[in-house]
Amino acid sequence: DTAVSQTPKYLVTQMGNDKSIKCEQNLGHDTMYWYKQDSKKFLKIMFSYNNKELIINETVPNRFSPKSPDKAHLNLHINSLELGDSAVYFCASSQELVLAVTDTQYFGPGTRLTVL
């Protein structure tokens, strides 16, 4: 009964490859997010989707393309992987886009991506 799940947990790949990370939430939330945690442990938001619609797209290379087939899923596809893409990627979800003071974000366990 995991709230927010991500697959795979670990991903090791060569430079130039294309890979996807999947995220699913069973909380019935309307909003999902992708975060990147770099080697210095600094978390940065990448994307936010509300009801399958892209709402936030921070300064992220075009090689990163989120896809939301339905409200419960937000997958992250990365083309032409580069060394600098190595990081831990966290998916999260929340009930509303305009977050009420009683709302919170639920995080997935993270996917550690290593690009060789």
Partner 1 sequence: KNEVEQSPQNLTAQEGEFITINCSYSVGISALHWLQQHPGGGIVSLFMLSSGKKKHGRLIATINIQEKHSSLHITASHPRDSAVYICAVRLRGGSQGNLIFGKGTKLSVKP
The least CB distance from residue 57 to partner 1, in Å, is 10
Phi, psi of 17 (to 5 degrees): -75, 165
Nearest approach, Cβ of residue 107 and partner 1 (Å):
4
In the bound state with partner 1, the residue whose beta carbon lies nearer, of 13 and 37, is: 37
CB 1 → partner 1: shortest distance, Å? Answer: 16
Q: Which is nearer to partner 1, 28 or 42 (CB)?
A: 42
15 DSSP β-pair partners: none
- Cβ proximity to partner 1, 83 vs 98, nearer residue: 98
| Residues at the contact surface with partner 1, assessed by CB under 8 A | 31, 33, 40-45, 48, 50, 55-56, 88, 90, 94, 96-99, 101-107, 109-110, 112
User: What is the rounded CA–CA span in Å between residue 36 and residue 90?
Assistant: 6
Neighbours of 113 (CB within 10 A): 21
Three-state DSSP at 83 gives: helix
Residues 6 or more apart whose CB falls under 8 angstroms from that of 99 comprise: none
